[in-house]
């Protein structure tokens, strides 16, 4: 049986590659030779010219958020715009919640009395 293919991303090239997953092997971008980031099998690649989407993706990946399938379907909520990212990062700073956890929140509590 063949191994399932999963997505790897190169942020500088704005490129995505589907390859069999092997956690012991480092993947290298064929365009720029930088290490690829394993993003998961439920990842949908933004268009190369969509700068805002790639910036949003960069924030998510640097916070440790990935796109792995769950038992019930996709990876769950992920912000798609920079304004959604800013809103969740502001909430994380004010509440003390980790950035990764705040970024995957479907809704951010509005004007809650924190502290």
**CA 99-105-108 angle, 5° bins:** 95
What's the domain count of the chain? 1
E strand map for 11-112: 15-20, 37-40
Instruction: Establish if 92 belongs to a structural domain.
Output: yes
Instruction: Establish if 78 belongs to a structural domain.
Output: yes
Instruction: Establish if 112 belongs to a structural domain.
Output: no
Sort 23 into a burial class: Cβ within 10 Å, 0-12 / 13-18 / 19+: exposed
Instruction: Establish if 69 belongs to a structural domain.
Output: yes
Q: Is the pLDDT of residue 4 over 90?
A: no
Distance CA 27, CA 17 (A): 10
Determine the pLDDT at residue 77. Answer: 84
- pLDDT for 17-73, tens place per residue? 999 988 889 999 999 999 999 999 889 999 999 999 999 999 999 999 998 876 666
Residue 10: name the closest of 26, 40, 41, 33 by CA: 33
- pTM confidence score: 0.81
Q: What domain range includes position 44? A: 5-103
């Amino acid at each position: 049986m063949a191994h399932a293919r999963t997505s790897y991303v190169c942020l500088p090239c704005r490129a995505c590659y589907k390859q069999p997953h092997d956690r012991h092997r480092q993947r290298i971008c064929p365009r720029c030779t930088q290490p690829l980031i394993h993003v998961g099998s439920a990842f949908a690649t933004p268009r190369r010219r969509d700068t805002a989407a790639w910036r949003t993706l960069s924030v998510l990946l640097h916070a440790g958020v990935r796109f792995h399938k769950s038992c019930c379907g996709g990876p769950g909520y992920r912000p798609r715009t920079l304004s959604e990212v800013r809103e969740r990062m502001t909430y994380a700073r004010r509440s003390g919640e980790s950035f990764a956890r705040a970024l995957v929140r479907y809704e951010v509590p509005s004007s809650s009395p924190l502290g």
